[in-house]
C-alpha cells in the first residue's frame, strides 16, 4: 500500500491551515446565538440586545517572545493588550479576560507574580476584569493563552467584510516601529553575548522598544470615530503587517485596493533605525507586524470628517476586485501587494517574534 503524501503545515501558513481545518465545519451553526465563527478578529454571539465578542491568542516562549530581553511584567501587559486589540478591531468594548498558563520548572512564584502584575495593570487601564483561567506544567518554557470577552450593540459591530468600492482606506498611528524595535532588541542581544556587564544602547530609540514590548490597543481611535459620527465599513488590527491585513479585508469584502507609499505613516525613529540596519523602510512598514494599529475603511462621503480625526491617516482606497491589491510608489509605479508578514507556522520564519 502506498504511503499517502503528507502536507507540511508550513506550506499552508497560518491562515491556510485555518481555512483547511474549518472548511468541513457545517455552513450553518448549531446554535442560533452564533452569528460569526472563524474568519474575523472575534467570534460573535448574540444574546438578547447585545452581541458577545470572543477572541483568543496563544503566546509561546521562543516563538512569540524571548525572555532574554522581554521583562515578565511587560510580557503580561502585552499578552492582555493584544487580545483587547481584537475586541476594539470589531468596534466593541472588552469586559473580561481569562488567562491560562503553561509553566516550566525554571520559573519561581515571584516570576509569575511579575507576569500577573503586568496583566493586572493592563486590566486596570482598560477597565477589564480577569475572571478565570487555568494553570499547568510545561516542558517547553512559558506558554500564555489569553481569551478576551467583550460586547457591542449589533448595529455597531464592524467586520472585515464590509469594504466597498471607493471606500477610503485609513490606518491609525504609525507603522513599522514595533518591527524595528524587535530588530534593535535582537541586535543588542547579539552584542551582549559573552559580556558580563553589558549595557544595551537604546538612546534615541526608546519609542521603538516601547512599541515592541508594550503595545497599546487603540481604544482612543474607536472612541474618536464614534464621537465624529463615523462608522467604519470594515476594520481589523495590524498584527501581522499592513499588507497582510489589507489583503484579508479585500478577500473578505470581495474587493481590490490601492494604497500610496507616500501616505503610509512612519515615525522618525523607525526611519533612522531602518537606515542604520540597511533595511527597506516601506517593506518594514508593510510587513513588520505587531503594530496593533487599526486598519479600517470608511465611505468616501466621510472624507472631510475622517481627516479631522487625530492620529488617523488616509492611505488609499478600495477598488473593484478585478483590479487586485497594489501600492502606488512615490515615482508612480504600481507594485502588487503580497502578504509577507509573519507566518508563525513557517519553518525558520524570523520576520517577527
167 lies in the same domain as 292: yes
d(CA 79, CA 101) in angstroms, rounded, equals: 11
Query: Which three cell numbers, joined as nine digits, stand for 54?
Result: 470572543
Has residue 24 been placed in a domain? no
171 lies in the same domain as 316: yes
220 lies in the same domain as 317: yes
- Host H or E run for residue 353: none
Has residue 271 been placed in a domain? yes
CATH value at residue 60: 3.30.1330.10
CATH value at residue 259: 3.90.650.10
Has residue 8 been placed in a domain? no
Has residue 284 been placed in a domain? yes
288 lies in the same domain as 166: yes
Angle, to 10 degrees, between the axis of helix 177-192 and the axis of helix 268-277? 50
Smallest Cα–Cα separation from 341: which of 214, 175, 184, 211? 175
121 lies in the same domain as 269: no
Q: Name the percent of the chain in helix, strand, coil, to the closest 5.
A: 35, 25, 40
206 lies in the same domain as 255: yes
Neighbours of 210 (CB within 10 A): 16
43 beta partners: 54
151 lies in the same domain as 168: no
Handedness of CA 185, 188, 194, 198 (dihedral sign): negative
Has residue 15 been placed in a domain? no
187 lies in the same domain as 301: yes
Q: Which domain holds residue 214?
A: 160-193+202-336
67 lies in the same domain as 152: yes
pLDDT reported for residue 33: 74
Has residue 5 been placed in a domain? no
For 90, left (φ over 0), alpha (ψ -120 to 50), or beta? Answer: alpha
183 lies in the same domain as 305: yes
Q: Report the first-to-last Cα separation within the chain, whole angstroms.
A: 42
66, 70, 89, 322 from 294: Cα distances, Å: 26, 24, 7, 26
114 lies in the same domain as 175: no
Has residue 16 been placed in a domain? no
Long-range pairs, 278-282, Cβ under 8 A, ≥24? 279/183, 281/176
> In the chain, how many domains are there?
2
Q: What is the pLDDT along the chain (353 residues), one digit of tens a residue?
A: 667 787 786 777 766 766 776 677 667 777 677 787 767 777 787 777 889 999 999 999 999 999 999 999 999 999 999 999 999 999 999 999 889 999 898 988 889 999 989 999 999 999 998 887 888 889 889 999 999 999 999 999 999 999 999 999 999 999 999 999 999 999 999 888 877 777 788 889 999 999 999 999 999 999 999 999 999 999 999 999 999 999 999 999 999 999 999 999 999 999 999 999 999 999 999 999 999 999 999 999 999 999 999 999 999 999 999 999 999 999 999 999 987 655 554 544 443 43
Has residue 56 been placed in a domain? yes
272 lies in the same domain as 145: no
pLDDT reported for residue 41: 73
- Per DSSP, 345 falls in state T
Amino acid at each position: 500500500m502506498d504511503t499517502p503524501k503528507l502536507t507540511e503545515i508550513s506550506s499552508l501558513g497560518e491562515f491556510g491551515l485555518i481555512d483547511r481545518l474549518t472548511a468541513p465545519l457545517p455552513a450553518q451553526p448549531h446554535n442560533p446565538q452564533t452569528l460569526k465563527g472563524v474568519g474575523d478578529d472575534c467570534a460573535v454571539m448574540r444574546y438578547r440586545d447585545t452581541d458577545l465578542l470572543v477572541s483568543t491568542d496563544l503566546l509561546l516562549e521562543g516563538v512569540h517572545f524571548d525572555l532574554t530581553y522581554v521583562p515578565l511584567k511587560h510580557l503580561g501587559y502585552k499578552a492582555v493588550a493584544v487580545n483587547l486589540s481584537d475586541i476594539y478591531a470589531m468596534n466593541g468594548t472588552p469586559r473580561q479576560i481569562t488567562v491560562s498558563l503553561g509553566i516550566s520548572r525554571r520559573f519561581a512564584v515571584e516570576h509569575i507574580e511579575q507576569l500577573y502584575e503586568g496583566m493586572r495593570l493592563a486590566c486596570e487601564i482598560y477597565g477589564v476584569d480577569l475572571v478565570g483561567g487555568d494553570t499547568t506544567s510545561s516542558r517547553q518554557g512559558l506558554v500564555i493563552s489569553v481569551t478576551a470577552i467583550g460586547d457591542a450593540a449589533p448595529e455597531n459591530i464592524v467586520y472585515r467584510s464590509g469594504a466597498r468600492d471607493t471606500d477610503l482606506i485609513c490606518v491609525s498611528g504609525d507603522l513599522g516601529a514595533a518591527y524595528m524595535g524587535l530588530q534593535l532588541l535582537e541586535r543588542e542581544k547579539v552584542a551582549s553575548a559573552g559580556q558580563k556587564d553589558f549595557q544595551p544602547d537604546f538612546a534615541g530609540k526608546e519609542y521603538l522598544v516601547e512599541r515592541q514590548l508594550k503595545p497599546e490597543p487603540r481604544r482612543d481611535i474607536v472612541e474618536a470615530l464614534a464621537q465624529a459620527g463615523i462608522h467604519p465599513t470594515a476594520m481589523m488590527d495590524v498584527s501581522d503587517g499592513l499588507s497582510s491585513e489589507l489583503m484579508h479585508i479585500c478577500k473578505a469584502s470581495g474587493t481590490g485596493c490601492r494604497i500610496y507609499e507616500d501616505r503610509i505613516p512612519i515615525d522618525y525613529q523607525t526611519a533612522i533605525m531602518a537606515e542604520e540596519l540597511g533595511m527597506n523602510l516601506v517593506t518594514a512598514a508593510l510587513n513588520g507586524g505587531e503594530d496593533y494599529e487599526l486598519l479600517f475603511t470608511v465611505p468616501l462621503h466621510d472624507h472631510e470628517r475622517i481627516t479631522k480625526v487625530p492620529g488617523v491617516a488616509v492611505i488609499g482606497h478600495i477598488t473593484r476586485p478585478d483590479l487586485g491589491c497594489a501600492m502606488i510608489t512615490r515615482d508612480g509605479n504600481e507594485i502588487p501587494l503580497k502578504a509577507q508578514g509573519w507566518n508563525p507556522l513557517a519553518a525558520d520564519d524570523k520576520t517577527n517574534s
